[in-house]
């Protein structure tokens, strides 16, 4: 039975602080068990705050940076130096401040002629990477939009029904600009050992309630589709996002 852990914090700052601590704990534990840790990162307004707390003491000194590998839950189909790039945000807020080896960082290759080709290349890369990491993403850091989307899986979009053996899809016509994206599939997100949703703001409250209390309908609330059979889901909410629970 699906029973997510739901944690509510009074402010965005206390949410970000707790999320940074949780990620550090999980990374430390996973590396201690297996020697490495694979993390999927997302864009949005909360991850930069979390990263800023991870890269300063005391958390900076606890995270086994050299043993982390990073992938992206989704990416906008823009150059790496675009202000819209999730890779650029991660580079500026995390990579530039930590000793994560560059050959353990796997950004979405947004330089191909078509997003479909980029998705195919990234899919093959992640198939091999997950095989080398026990078939799992150790930590998936996710968000949810006011429409219930997560990664770049939007309500009613066909990518929600991607084949179970496909890890990456191209997304055209995103209702949120930029319109072209690359996203992990539901099957990929459900490879997470721990999926952490970071959600803040009153504009998310209705969909938080739908995701956690409503009937299962991922075509209406795509965040519901993240229910790993062999993993754990944590929702970390600020008080405004949790107001309708």
Asked whether the predicted pLDDT for residue 2 surpasses 90, the reply is no
Q: What is the pLDDT of residue 60?
A: 98
Terminal-residue alpha carbon distance, the chain? 20
Q: What is the pLDDT of residue 126?
A: 99
Q: What is the pLDDT of residue 190?
A: 99
Contact 16, 9 (CB under 8 A): no
User: Could you give the angle at which helices 46-54 and 86-93 cross, rounded to 10 degrees?
Assistant: 30
CA-only gyration radius of the chain, Å: 17
Contact 143, 151 (CB under 8 A): no
Contact 93, 55 (CB under 8 A): yes
Looking at every residue in the chain, the average pLDDT score rounds to 98
Both tokens assigned to 154: 């939007």
Residue entry with tokens 């999926």: 195
Give the CA angle between residues 102, 105, 111 to the nearest 5°. 100
**pLDDT-derived band at 198, boundaries 50, 70, 90:** very high
Indicate whether this model's pTM tops 0.95: yes
pLDDT tens, residue by residue, 63-81: 999 999 999 999 999 999 9
How many whole angstroms separate alpha carbon 111 and alpha carbon 100?
23
How many whole angstroms separate alpha carbon 34 and alpha carbon 196?
21
Q: Which fold has domain 5-238?
A: Rossmann fold (3.40.50)
SS3 105: strand
Q: What percentage of the chain has pLDDT greater than the value 90?
A: 99
Residue 28: which of 55, 67, 58 has the closest Cα?
67
Contact 196, 23 (CB under 8 A): yes
Asked whether the predicted pLDDT for residue 231 surpasses 90, the reply is yes
């Amino acid at each position: 039975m699906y029973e997510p852990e739901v944690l509510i914090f009074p402010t965005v700052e206390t949410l970000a602080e707790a999320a940074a601590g949780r990620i550090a704990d999980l990374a430390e534990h996973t590396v201690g068990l297996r020697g490495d840790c694979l993390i999927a990162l997302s864009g949005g307004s909360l991850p930069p705050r979390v990263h800023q707390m991870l890269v300063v003491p005391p958390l900076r000194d606890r995270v086994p940076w050299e043993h982390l590998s990073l992938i992206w839950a989704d990416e906008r189909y823009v150059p790496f130096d675009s202000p819209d790039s999730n890779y650029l945000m991660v580079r500026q807020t995390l990579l530039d401040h930590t000793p994560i080896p560059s050959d353990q960082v796997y950004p979405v290759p947004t330089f191909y002629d078509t997003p479909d080709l980029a998705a195919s290349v990234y899919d093959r890369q992640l198939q091999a990477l997950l095989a080398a990491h026990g078939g799992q993403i150790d930590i998936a850091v996710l968000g949810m939009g006011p429409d219930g989307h997560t990664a770049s899986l939007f309500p009613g979009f066909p990518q929600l029904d991607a084949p179970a053996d496909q890890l990456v899809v191209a997304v055209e016509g995103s209702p949120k600009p930029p319109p072209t994206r690359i996203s992990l599939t539901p099957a990929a997100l459900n490879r997470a050992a721990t999926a952490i949703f970071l959600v803040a703001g009153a504009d998310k409250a209705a969909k938080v309630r739908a995701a956690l209390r409503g009937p299962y309908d991922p075509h209406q609330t795509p965040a519901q589709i993240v229910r790993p059979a062999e993993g754990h889901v944590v929702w970390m909410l600020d008080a405004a996002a949790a107001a309708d629970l």
